[in-house]
Structure 1
């Protein structure tokens, strides 16, 4: 029950009493004024003071957000010592190097702006020494094929030539520009089997020299497995026929890899295994999905591979695993190819699907 305030008003409000002036005779004895003091209870309410706001913190937070998507035009090719501005390195903090990749460039020098997911990979390294209590910092762009083509190291200028799956270039052609897929190695970093790899959501990772951050080149984790089934013939399935028609277009004209290695990897620490998942390039345009789960030992030797075919369009972002199963989380999307045929960005063919709410679980047979 909600309590409500109750106010009682008198039914009759009397008029104020007028004071009648009365003439009095002056008395002979003078009137002596005396000061009278009485104690009055303190009825004031203590109002707490508003919390103080550090102006410097608010300004810093504002500018931090403004620079969140500002292009990084320069690299830090040699290690520099970072100055600790607050706090200290914990005594039990392990010494080592923390690697972080992410999009570093969003606008070129010719008026084009790309989506952050299409920004060139900018690799940073924070080397923490808990003995000397120092932190060193380095940063370099990952020299992918697209980065080498779009960046002029002599003038340090950029010109975007690849559309990328999420972006539209200024003045870009709707027809004729086949540079759609843009491997920018900007999604995640993997340290496994004495190798440092920068991953991308749709292609081979790039191997990096861990000490200098120099780019070694593409690393083919699938080792030719992406060509398996390329010439395989299927009968009776209309979507397989459509896939065979799309393969020469996607692989030959648009230079897409037959299998797209996703950047979300998992590590089975109990078995010392690296788990990855890949899908077919044509799955983006067909209402079906083909996922291949691969498992590697500590030397990058393939120890297990399983393929699952799903009769639905599932462009997954992340997945999970247990000791016995793989778990796939489907996004609420569906294809709208005809409605988006004249758009420039390739992934606008995907629209929201309210009814798609799928979690697929598949048996994971493991060789111990």
Structure 2
């Protein structure tokens, strides 16, 4: 008998769960991954350089990934696709920059609080107008609001146009915990403070999606009409979830501004940033909690490092997205259970591996034939 409780998962299988906190239990394999992930996060500034990686670049990936975690609340549970979440990331970043540049606020935690207030307020206002829409209308409305905000900042002298604003007071970086730090000390304190707060936010998100409120969002995503008939205030719940998702983006944008110490509209508010945040959720696995976070780390590093590998580095990211959609539709983290089951099945039955190879070969050949036929039709007008 196991000393840990046996719990029935969503697939009806009985699995061992190691309790971490009330209501939160992980399988032994998930516990190992969680432990390794925590060790990796806290050791990142010291280990990244040993393998030739830039930990500051990975830090930026974590921030964008946290914004994608917020977006995933909409994508996974209400099944709404937002093309405007850069508005909250950029709103948080500009909240920090405006307070520092125009009002001389010098304490980093106060700047971060201001970022969360600004970004969340934007989410409240935008969410009020879009909560009643679905599908393409919701996506286009969020895109429109994002573009309006970008154009306003881009053309405004208050935000210093496209040159942006410095997050410095008298030429000095902000303080953290009301203390002045060296350049390395500032980055490390900011990083570890962010990691601790991020873990709290991930736990809060887990609690949220497994609460009655989270179940109501699932019902809304499955069928709005039925959810409305059973008494769920659909627009109110969508509005609230939209606001929460914006809060996560605002926090990430605020930390980004404190890290970069300079905020411009294109890296924070441009519509393509919204697309990248959505890409991160899909890349890591929008059916999981930490998948978007992993997707953010991978995509930011890929976007910034690929330019040194190939000339057309944006095409490389497009190919990665195509590969994920076609071969790993659940994303990287979401596909791990399927991969584990596949490996276990091939260990028990090695002969099935040959069948997989033949099936994969046939699928590739069929794809090539379709592509060839399409090219012939486009170029020559015949099959």
Specify the TM-score bucket, using the shorter chain as the normaliser: under 0.3
Q: TM-score, normalised by structure 2?
A: 0.22
Which structure carries more strand by proportion? Answer: 1
Which structure carries more helix by proportion? Answer: 2
Flag the structure with more relative contact order, 1 or 2, with Cα contacts below 8 A and sequence separation at least 6: 2
Q: TM-score, normalised by structure 1?
A: 0.23
